[in-house]
């Protein structure tokens, strides 16, 4: 867990203990949950709530996950078309945004279940079991939330939070003030700045916020799985005017706490003869990261958050290296939404979570990926 997340978790625990002991102003906890469609169909017209639904784009086919080595069963799931979801924006006077998960509490004091990723994460929020909640901070006007679980991590901020701005734009609400996490990271402020969104449009959220009208844009896709149109929006907003120039990148995790490549020096030497440059994206400003990936033709990388940046590329071959104890297909799905080629290589576990890379297999995969691109 990142230091910032640990600090937030500690602060949340302190606040909860204070509420439980009656030391801070509070309000009653939720009295159940309800789905948006059910609530809207039963809600009296006096609520003035509205739901804007825009049609979903056509379903998309995922990219084929290729490997020259041992296959992993996880990638067998990504077969056939992916169902697209409509863009939905709920406009709810009198609703509150509660918890760091960005969950909506309706005017009748029920939790809007749609605002958690799924039932499992709704349970993980512990919001339904809360007997009391903080007294809400009131703000005037309409405010749209882009807060959701994990959105303080780079991957989830770029692929979950920012596309919700695109959803607002599709609904004609692209200029609304945005509710964001209270403690924004530098990269979060930088992304918003590159989108032309300054501090004057930001409404910080900590535990419980009640605008006159809460606007909740549904995420463009399930967490970490943006549709192609949302990835295209990211590319257009961040990488317009940057032309691919064939750069070949190796993404190092030498500064990370896990999934480091233990034989990285040998890997970098082997890739050097193919024109690869080794980079540590976390040492670069966001705009430089965007340019780096937008100019790339092929990327070799251990699984990690920096691979999110392939969203800014027009077309690359991503070769992802896995530690067998943690295999996650999110970047395979992102590659499909981005129109990229995707390859993976299974490494050998070293220590608790590091990786020893099979050099011959990585180089053979690089050669095959380059051959495919030339075809």
pLDDT given for residue 354 in this prediction: 96
The burial class, CB within 10 Å (0-12 / 13-18 / 19+), for 10 is exposed
Specify the pTM.
Answer: 0.90
Q: Which residues contact 116 (CB under 8 A, 6 or more apart)?
A: 101, 103, 122, 125, 149
Centre a 10 Å sphere on the Cβ of residue 311 and count the other Cβ atoms it contains.
29
- The DSSP bridge pattern shows strands 208-217 and 87-93 to be antiparallel
| CATH superfamily assigned to domain 244-374 | NAD(P)-binding Rossmann-like Domain (3.40.50.720)
pLDDT of residue 57: 72
Using only the alpha carbons of the chain, give its radius of gyration: 22
- The ranges assigned to domains in the chain are 24-51+84-237, 244-374
Three-state SS string over the chain comes to CCHHHHHHHHHHHHHHHHHHCCCCCEEECCCCEECHHHHHHHCCHHHCCEEEEECCCCCECCCCEECCCCCCHHHHHCCCCECCCCEEEEEEECCEEECCCCEEECCCCCEEHHHCCCHHHHHHHCCCCCCEEECCEEEEEEEEECCCCCCCCHHHHHHHHHHHHHHHHHCCCCCCCEEEECCCCHHHHHHHHHCCCCHHHEEEECCEEEEEEEEEECCCCCCCCCCHHHHHHHHHHHHCCCCCCCEEEEECCCCCCCCCECCHHHHHHHHHCCCEEEECHHHCCHHHHHHHHHCEEEEEEECCHHHHHHHHCCCCEEEEEEECCECCCHHHHHHHHHCCEEEEEECEEECCCEEECCHHHHHHHHHHHHHHHHC
Q: Dihedral sign for Cα 4, 6, 10, 16, please.
A: positive
Residue 7: the pLDDT is 41
CB-count burial class (<10 Å; 0-12, 13-18, 19+) for 243:
exposed
Alpha-carbon span 197 to 74, nearest angstrom: 38
What is the mean pLDDT, run by run of 10 residues, along the chain of 375 residues?
46 51 73 94 75 79 86 78 79 95 96 96 95 94 97 96 97 97 95 96 94 97 90 96 95 94 98 97 95 97 97 96 94 92 96 95 98 86
Residue 23 has what pLDDT?
Answer: 43
Which pLDDT score is estimated for 41? 87
């Amino acid at each position: 867990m990142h230091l910032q997340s640990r600090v937030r978790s500690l602060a949340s625990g302190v606040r909860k203990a204070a509420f439980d002991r009656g030391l801070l102003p509070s309000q009653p906890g939720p009295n159940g949950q309800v789905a948006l469609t059910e609530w809207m169909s039963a809600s009296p017209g006096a609520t003035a709530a509205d739901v804007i639904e825009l049609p979903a784009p056509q379903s998309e086919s995922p990219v084929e996950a290729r490997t020259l080595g041992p296959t992993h069963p996880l990638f067998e799931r990504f077969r056939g078309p992916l169902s697209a979801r409509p863009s939905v924006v709920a406009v709810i006077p009198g609703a509150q945004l509660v918890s760091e998960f960005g969950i909506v509490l309706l005017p009748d004091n029920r939790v809007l279940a749609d605002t958690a990723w799924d039932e499992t994460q709704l349970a993980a929020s512990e919001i339904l079991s809360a007997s009391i909640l903080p007294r809400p901070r009131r703000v005037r006007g309409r405010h749209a939330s882009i807060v959701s679980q994990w959105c303080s991590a780079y991957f989830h901020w770029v692929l979950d939070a920012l596309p919700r701005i695109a959803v607002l734009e599709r609904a004609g609400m692209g200029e609304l003030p945005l509710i964001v996490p209270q403690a924004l990271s530098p990269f979060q402020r930088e992304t918003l700045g590159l989108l032309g969104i300054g501090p004057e449009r930001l409404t910080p959220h900590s535990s419980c916020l009640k605008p006159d009208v809460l606007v909740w844009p549904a995420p463009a896709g399930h967490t970490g799985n943006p549709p192609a149109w949302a990835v295209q929006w990211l590319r257009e907003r961040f990488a317009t005017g940057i032309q691919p120039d064939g750069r070949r990148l190796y993404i190092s995790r030498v500064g990370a706490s896990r999934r480091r490549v233990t034989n990285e020096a040998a890997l970098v030497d082997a890739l050097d003869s193919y024109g690869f440059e080794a980079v540590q994206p976390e040492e670069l400003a966001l705009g430089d990261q965007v340019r780096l990936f937008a100019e790339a033709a092929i990327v070799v990388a251990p699984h990690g958050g920096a691979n999110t940046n392939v969203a800014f590329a027009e077309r690359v071959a991503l070769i992802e290296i896995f530690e067998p104890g943690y295999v996650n297909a999110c970047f395979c799905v992102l590659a499909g939404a981005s129109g990229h080629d995707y390859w993976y290589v299974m490494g050998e576990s070293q220590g608790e979570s590091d990786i020893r890379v099979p050099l011959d297999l990585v180089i053979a995969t690089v050669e095959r990926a380059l051959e495919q691109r030339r075809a």
